[in-house]
A = this chain, B = another copy of it.
Amino acid sequence: MNNYLQVVDQIKRKSSFLIVGLDSDYSKFPPNVQFPDVELAIMRFNKAIIEATAAYAVGYKLNSAFYECHGIAGLKALRDTVRYIKEKYPEMLVILDAKRGDIGNTSACYARAAFDSFQADAVTVAPYMGYDSVEPFLRYKDKWTILLALTSNKGSADFQQLLTKDETFVFENVLRTASKWELHSDTMNAEQMMFVVGATQADWFKKIRQIVPDHFLLVPGVGAQGGSLRAVVENGINREFCCLLVNASRSIIFASKDDNFAMAAAHKAAEMQKEMSDLLKEFTLI
């Protein structure tokens, strides 16, 4: 499930625009998956979560940090989780949340890592270093590049919300500039790029939609971080293609700290899917 219309189709078919974030923090694992072998533990946990939530989600987001912190063992679990999803649920969008970005020849290596080595369909990229740090990702025309625009955390105020001389914020400049970057193929910008906009920033969605009406937005911050799904949809939905992917991580995968964690995750994911389905109906997308 890669291209723009296929993602839209999945959303309509599943009545869901939920991405489940596999922020699989070993220290929060329930007792029955706390194997001393970290790789095994993460795989057991992830497989259980995936099986429990696949019916309600259109994709999974793996945040690299939670795997890297265990060194090689964690990275094997990252690789194997992606493989597992792609084999079992090939229609799912697999996002590697890595927030990479470097000078051109180096970013090309990060793109290879994300797309070739780890087989992700999409990768998050940090915009600070500008066009030539993002361009190597865009060379993969069947993959998605998801650029940070306005993140969900408090620190987004520090630099993203600096006011520039023309009375616009830095994040608006990122959106405006990056959405016009030309691609190597004849794909349109919105077919290869998405932007991260935090759900905690609901006030900004209307303004953001004026700049990027047709781009998918990957929206973290609903759930543990407190953003409202309704507010995101009301202000951010595209009336034809939805163009929202809402990620929930901790609120789903750690819905229970006990051995019933998979069941609890399923309930939480189903609850979010129901809410999304209702909203998709309300906005006549399904």
Interface residues of A, Cβ cutoff 8 Å to B: 23, 25, 63, 65-66, 68-72, 74-76, 79, 97, 99-107, 109-110, 112-113, 116-118, 126-134, 148, 151-160, 162-165, 167, 170, 173-174, 177, 225
Asked whether A160 lies within 8 Å of B128 as measured between CB atoms, the reply is yes
Give Cα distance in the complex from A164 to B159, angstroms. 10
Asked whether A155 lies within 8 Å of B129 as measured between CB atoms, the reply is yes
Sample (29) of A-B pairs whose CB atoms are under 8 Å apart: A23-B106, A65-B110, A68-B113, A69-B110, A69-B113, A72-B75, A72-B79, A74-B117, A97-B102, A103-B153, A126-B126, A127-B158, A127-B159, A128-B148, A129-B148, A129-B151, A129-B153, A129-B155, A130-B157, A133-B153, A158-B177, A159-B173, A159-B174, A159-B177, A162-B165, A162-B170, A164-B164, A164-B170, A165-B167
A26: nearest residue on chain B (CB-CB)? B109
A168: nearest residue on chain B (CB-CB)? B162
Q: Which residues of B contact A66 (CB under 8 A)?
A: 106, 109
Asked whether A126 lies within 8 Å of B110 as measured between CB atoms, the reply is no
Known A69-B112, A69-B117, A71-B75; further 6 A-B contacts with Cβ < 8 A: A68-B110, A71-B79, A71-B118, A131-B154, A132-B154, A133-B153
Tell me the smallest distance from the CB of A236 to a CB of chain B, in Å.
20
A73: nearest residue on chain B (CB-CB)? B117
A111: nearest residue on chain B (CB-CB)? B69
Q: Which residues of B contact A23 (CB under 8 A)?
A: 106
A126: nearest residue on chain B (CB-CB)? B126
Tell me the smallest distance from the CB of A158 to a CB of chain B, in Å.
3
Tell me the smallest distance from the CB of A85 to a CB of chain B, in Å.
17
Give Cα distance in the complex from A103 to B104, angstroms. 25
Q: Which residues of B contact A157 (CB under 8 A)?
A: 130
Q: Which 5 A-B pairs have the closest CB atoms?
A: A130-B155, A130-B158, A65-B109, A71-B117, A68-B113
Q: Which residues of B contact A118 (CB under 8 A)?
A: 71
Give Cα distance in the complex from A63 to B27, angstroms. 28
Give Cα distance in the complex from A66 to B173, angstroms. 30
Give Cα distance in the complex from A133 to B155, angstroms. 7
Question: Taking A129-B148, A153-B133 as contacts, is the C-beta distance between A106 and B63 under 8 angstroms?
Answer: yes
Give Cα distance in the complex from A174 to B159, angstroms. 7
Tell me the smallest distance from the CB of A117 to a CB of chain B, in Å.
4
Asked whether A71 lies within 8 Å of B113 as measured between CB atoms, the reply is yes
